[in-house]
Amino acid sequence: MAGEVRQLDDRKLAVLRAIVQDYVGTEEPVGSKALVERHNLGVSPATVRNDMAALEEEGYIHQPHTSAGRIPTDKGYRLFVDKLAEIKPMSSPERRAIRHFLDGAVDLDDVVTRTVRLLAQLTRQVAVVQYPSLTRSTVRHIELVALAPAKVMLVLITNTGRVEQRMVDCPGTVGETVLADLRARINARAAGQRLPDVPGLLEELPGAFEQADRPTVSTVLATLFEALAEQNEERIMLAGTANLTRFGHDFPLTIQPVLEALEEQVVLLRLLGETTDAAMTVRIGRENAYEGLNSTSVVSVGYGSGDESVAKLGVIGPTRMDYPGTMGAVRAVARYVGQILAES
Amino acid sequence: MAGEVRQLDDRKLAVLRAIVQDYVGTEEPVGSKALVERHNLGVSPATVRNDMAALEEEGYIHQPHTSAGRIPTDKGYRLFVDKLAEIKPMSSPERRAIRHFLDGAVDLDDVVTRTVRLLAQLTRQVAVVQYPSLTRSTVRHIELVALAPAKVMLVLITNTGRVEQRMVDCPGTVGETVLADLRARINARAAGQRLPDVPGLLEELPGAFEQADRPTVSTVLATLFEALAEQNEERIMLAGTANLTRFGHDFPLTIQPVLEALEEQVVLLRLLGETTDAAMTVRIGRENAYEGLNSTSVVSVGYGSGDESVAKLGVIGPTRMDYPGTMGAVRAVARYVGQILAES
DNA sequence: TCTGGCACTCGCGTGTGCAGAGTGCCAGGG
DNA sequence: CCCTGGCACTCTGCACACGCGAGTGCCAGA
């Protein structure tokens, strides 16, 4: 008896899976007859109808109008993603294409640009790539350049290749020897350290200088700390907005809030921020906090040069998306970007 | 008699102006009756109809269907922009708002970001701002940093605050003294020079070094020249794509090619490239070379820190746009950005 | 040269009718 | 007890017809 119950449930799940697959393919509500024709479930339309009724009762599917086919709900997609589908690995030509496309990059900007375009093209959706975040990275080098007697340029270079620069207006003239000394001391202590740890390591530094130079040193350090702390500066790159036109028929209504969301870096950052670091995150429809994205799904994952992720990337598309394929593409791209970053 | 002929022409032009203004406001074909009601031309609808027939004959307006009102053609807008309209100056509160908004910027990235957002908001259209181009700028400073025994980072800083960095893999170990010497020599000759002129000035440089160091020097210089020459790297910033949703009813058809165009930096760069430097350029509808933008108009102008323009900015909107207002906003923003750049 | 009048043309919104797809339910069979 | 075939029902989408209103072009008169 218990066996039969499970049997039943298995079939319902199969029906749900079939509905999701068909709907994603055709974009039209799917009916019982079409279902049995296209997938060879070994039962009749009537049986499927009963299962559909049950699935609707449970809230996994929904019919837009009384005599139309069924459409998966957010809950239905959720179940599909969690239990019914597996991430579809990229084919080996696809892998080669990815690798080839990313290998040509010359600097960090280029890596990010290429990545985001690639992802948009692979998934035919909107792609988002976050620049390797300052917080997670380590200091590769800090450079001080005297531009004018009392003007110093500070350049911060991270292990991920990111460069941040700041102008410093010093309280007085800065001697070249002092600057060289300061540069050496800063780098001796900070190089290789994680950015958030750096201020603690440099705190005592002004004490090592002569009284006269301390204001200058302090000013430079203050600017450096500011640059280190400025997490807001996390930048994001977008591509594939033109793919939004494939969204649906009730077009302007759906697309406008999405375009607005995409313009707000803050929204995007928060969106990616919700990604749990290593594992791939899928947010479906109303699961997204930002309501402009209530009819979209976000697939995101962290990427990084080593084991740990320094930033995130992802894809935004309609809830009706090809989840296995999208997840496969996102995962593959994230891996390769990680490798590229590790190499450089 | 000649006076009467001119009188007539003047009225036709007034009619055209009125049609453009009304159509821009209402987005609906404008008829003769509505026209005389809203603008007080001192004549009857019938007279206006005759003028309209003449204007249509000349190709300035066009009726979408036999019994509908008239819509300006590209040629009509062109005449409007050239002869019938004046750039509308910003009101003084608007000027203050612009100034205030832009003054808060801390670095070049920030200036560009703020500018593009401001422009999008003011015009309620898509704004495009080109980063100050490397070609036009001058060298402020070139920095060389040894990251590893045979790895040097090259940082190029321009007078417009732009920073470009490159990794250099040297043929052998690089001594710190050699590097310091090279740095000093490069800056002595290149600082203050226009970027395209720099390679010529540094050509002879390897000769000043010992035989053993020349390969390294040459490698570094080669990378520098490459960075200088790389005009392709001209970057562009976009904002206001969400405003595209206000385009029209035949929406997806119109908007898709536009979104595609906006994704192609190359297209945008060429678009801005067509701007004649100082004067404001307006490209209307089919005047745009890129056919995806055939139903849009582009208003663009150069901006710069001094007299001469280092880059361009502009706005992309439907051919049916408020030209005087848009041109006013573009001009005002360009001026203020120029000032900001000059100050920093 | 402008004006008022008039007949004409269409686009658009509304309403009706029909076909097709899909459902829910019920009774019968394994 | 579950599955199946059949049947009546519901609803959408589409095609077509119709009438209204906006707008025009033209003509005769001031």
Q: What is the pLDDT along chain A (344 residues), one digit of tens a residue?
A: 333 333 347 889 999 999 999 999 998 999 999 889 888 888 889 999 999 999 999 999 999 888 888 999 999 999 999 999 999 999 999 999 999 999 988 778 889 999 999 999 999 999 999 988 777 788 888 888 887 788 888 888 887 777 787 888 888 888 888 988 998 899 999 988 988 889 999 988 898 899 988 999 999 999 999 888 764 467 899 999 999 888 766 666 678 889 999 998 889 988 888 877 678 999 999 999 898 899 899 999 999 877 778 889 999 999 999 999 999 999 999 999 999 888 76
How does strand A163-169 pair with strand A236-239? unpaired
Cβ proximity of B338 and B304 under 8 Å:
yes
Question: Residue range B68-83: average pLDDT?
Answer: 94
Global pTM? Answer: 0.83
pLDDT at B253: 66
Q: Which nucleotides in chain D lie less than 7 Å from some protein C-beta?
A: 2-6, 9-12, 21-27
Cα atoms in the Cβ-side hemisphere of radius 13 Å centred on B237: 21
Tell whether B145 is within 8 A of chain A (Cβ): yes
pLDDT at A253: 66
How distant, in Å, are the alpha carbons of B141, B162, B323 from that of B131?
18, 8, 24
State phi, psi for A21 to the nearest 5 degrees.
Answer: -60, -45
Question: Residue range B144-158: average pLDDT?
Answer: 84
Tell whether A194 is within 8 A of chain B (Cβ): no
Q: How far is the CA of B54 from the C1' of C11 (A)?
A: 24
How does strand A311-318 pair with strand B61-62? unpaired
Q: Rounded to an integer, what distance in angstroms lies between the CA atom of residue A343 and that of residue A338?
A: 9
Per CB-CB distance under 8 Å, the chain B contacts of A256 are 242, 245
State phi, psi for B313 to the nearest 5 degrees.
Answer: -145, 160
Average pLDDT, chain B: 87
State phi, psi for A343 to the nearest 5 degrees.
Answer: -70, -35
Question: Residue range B187-198: average pLDDT?
Answer: 89
pLDDT at B251: 61
Task: At B322, list the tokens.
Answer: 């408020």
Locate tokens 């393919």: which residue?
A25
Locate tokens 């000649």: which residue?
B2
Tell whether B251 is within 8 A of chain A (Cβ): yes
Tell whether A291 is within 8 A of chain B (Cβ): no
Beta strands in chain B (DSSP E): 61-62, 71-72, 126-130, 139-148, 151-158, 163-169, 236-239, 281-284, 296-303, 311-318
Contact at CB, A259 and B251, closer than 8 angstroms? no
Which among B143, B155, B256 is the nearest to A245, CB-wise? B256
- What confidence tens digit (pLDDT) does each residue in B240-276 have? 999 988 876 666 667 888 999 999 888 998 888 887 7
Question: Residue range B201-209: average pLDDT?
Answer: 90
Cα angle B331, B337, B342; round to 5 = 125
- Burial of residue A209 (number of CB atoms within 10 Å: 0-12, 13-18, 19+): middle
Closest nucleotide to the alpha carbon of B51, via C1'? C2
Q: How far is the CA of A65 from the C1' of C28 (A)?
A: 31
For residue B70, pLDDT beyond 80: yes
Tell whether B157 is within 8 A of chain A (Cβ): yes
Q: How many CB pairs below 8 Å do chains A and B form together?
A: 69
User: How many CB atoms neighbour CB A329 within 10 A?
Assistant: 26
How distant, in Å, are the alpha carbons of B231, B262, B274, B284, B286 from that of B290?
21, 11, 12, 12, 8
Q: How far is the CA of B297 from the C1' of D20 (A)?
A: 37
Tell whether A169 is within 8 A of chain B (Cβ): no
Cα angle B230, B234, B240; round to 5 = 165
Question: Residue range B157-169: average pLDDT?
Answer: 80
Non-local CB neighbours of B31 within 8 Å, separated by 6+ positions: B68, B69, B70
Cα atoms in the Cβ-side hemisphere of radius 13 Å centred on B207: 4
Per CB-CB distance under 8 Å, the chain B contacts of A267 are none
Question: Residue range B67-74: average pLDDT?
Answer: 91
Q: Rounded to an integer, what distance in angstroms lies between the CA atom of residue A136 and that of residue A283?
A: 24
Q: How far is the CA of A47 from the C1' of C26 (A)?
A: 14
pLDDT at B23: 94
Q: How far is the CA of A302 from the C1' of D15 (A)?
A: 54
CB A27 under 7 Å to nucleic chain C: no
Q: Write out residues 40-99 of B within 8 Å (CB-CB) of A.
A: none
Number of H helices, E strands in chain B: 12, 10
Per CB-CB distance under 8 Å, the chain A contacts of B147 are 140-141, 157
